[in-house]
Amino acid sequence: MSLTLRGALVLGIGAALGLTLSLGAGVLAERNTAENTLPWDEARLLAEVLERVKQEYVEPVDDSVLIESAVRGMVTDLDPHSQFLDSDEYEEIRISTTGNYSGVGLEVHMDGGIVTVVAPIEGTPAERAGIKSGDRIMAIDDITVDEQKVHDTISRMRGKAGTRVKITVHREFEPEQLEFTVIRGHVQVKSVRAALLQPDYGYVRITHFSETTYKDLRKAVTQLKRSSRGELQGLILDLRDNPGGVLDAAVDVSDAFLNSGVIVSADGRGPHASFTHDARNGDILNGADLVVLVNGGSASTSEIVAGAMQDHGRATIVGSQTFGKGSVQTVMPLSNGRAIKLTTSRYFRPSGDSIHEQGVTPDILLDSADVENLTAGVLEHRTDEGAALLQHDAELREALDVLKGERIMHSKAP
């Protein structure tokens, strides 16, 4: 799919986050025929309701608020993935897909009004300031984190590069709260992480699909090869809890491991909503074994990758049933920095099967109860990153066994 056609934004988005997109073909066409004009009775109904609310609602409501609420309700009622985006929501989508913004560079987790630092992004102002994984953010510029408005905490950490922001955190085992004055800078959010699990066996995790994912994947595989003894014997591609993202990125990632064949096709009503993506010759692993690790949080474009690998017999899919989100959203810019995110296509695996509400069934199903009871073996003799991953991740250890053709304690999927 072209990145330049009309500049519309096409999403292969995860149902959990709903915040990722890719540049793609526009889908709006001029429709001036009488059959597509809004019927007068329906238009009058909207006008009547607006007038009643303005005149008789218990409190006065601004016209712009009423109109935005009407539009938001209209779009949201179409399906769970269509959405009206105000200027702030539109900006969040832009950040999540491009991976570029100005701020401090923290990955955070929000749960029950608590904002916890997952990790400072490498090379960012937050890392240089000394903020660490596990720190709990208590205040930004002396404004206490409000559990009802935790997203405000994130937005206050962003801002123009070169400006200052004070971040107050609680750190375990520290008697008092710590304060950090951070100079905001340009931040590049990375979606790819990699490590060498064992000699000749690599691991790549993709957290979401952004415009930089494919480039970062190639770089990661190249570094793994250098760290190994030459060509890799196998690779684990971890897509667990990956909610999706940029459609073109998922196509490129799939193409990276295939030499030919259909990757994904889509069907829709708009002039650019139906398409097929095919793989080009060139496998970055040169045919080495591949395992794709998935779970119920693997959705949308993650399922495109897993489905393509499975249908072409390129990889063994390991884990649990994926989410089952098989639709494409197009973000259509509106006036004043707003937009609508509209479902425009449904996509299909190379086999022709739909992912929507079905998901991808792994070749090897991991029994969660059995996996939780597994021990880590003799990994305590190693202290590198790969050993740390294996030590704390039983599913990853099982996937490595599958990759190496060793002990298999799980069942074949039907």
pLDDT per position as a tens digit, 39-49: 788 888 988 99
Q: Are residues 178 and 280 in the same domain?
A: no
Catalytic residue among 132, 311, 401, 404: 311
Answer whether 241's CB lies under 8 Å from 5's CB. Answer: no
Q: What is the C-alpha to C-alpha distance for residues 365 and 411, in angstroms, rounded to an integer? A: 6
Query: Within a domain: residue 335?
Result: no
pLDDT of res. 134 = 86
Is residue 325 among the annotated active site residues? yes
Is residue 300 among the annotated active site residues? yes
The whole-angstrom distance between residue 228's C-alpha and the CA centroid of its chain comes to 29
Q: Are residues 111 and 256 in the same domain?
A: no
Query: Within a domain: residue 339?
Result: no
More confident residue, 122 or 410: 122
Q: Are residues 291 and 392 in the same domain?
A: yes
Range of the domain at 89: 8-95
pLDDT class for 98, splitting at 50, 70, 90? Answer: confident
SS3 324: coil
Q: Treating both helix axes as pointing N-terminal to C-terminal, what angle do 213-227 and 247-257 enclose, rounded to 10 degrees?
A: 30
Q: Are residues 238 and 296 in the same domain?
A: yes
Question: Residue 238: which H helix or E strand, with range?
Answer: strand 234-238
pLDDT tens digits along 219-245:
999 999 999 877 899 999 999 988 888
Q: Are residues 83 and 105 in the same domain?
A: no
pLDDT of res. 133 = 81
Domain final residue, candidates 51, 78, 95: 95
pLDDT average, residue stretch 161-177: 95
Residues 6+ apart with CB under 8 A from 334: 340
Tokens 């080495």 belong to which residue? Answer: 288
Query: Within a domain: residue 336?
Result: no
Catalytic residue among 82, 96, 300, 302: 300
Evaluated on CA atoms 26, 32, 36, 37, the torsion sign reads positive
Domain final residue, candidates 165, 188, 211: 188
Q: Are residues 270 and 155 in the same domain?
A: no
pLDDT at 148 > cutoff 80: no
Q: Are residues 296 and 311 in the same domain?
A: yes
State the pTM of this model.
0.75
DSSP E strands, 320-392: 327-333, 339-348, 364-365
Query: Within a domain: residue 255?
Result: yes
Catalytic residue among 210, 320, 325, 363: 325
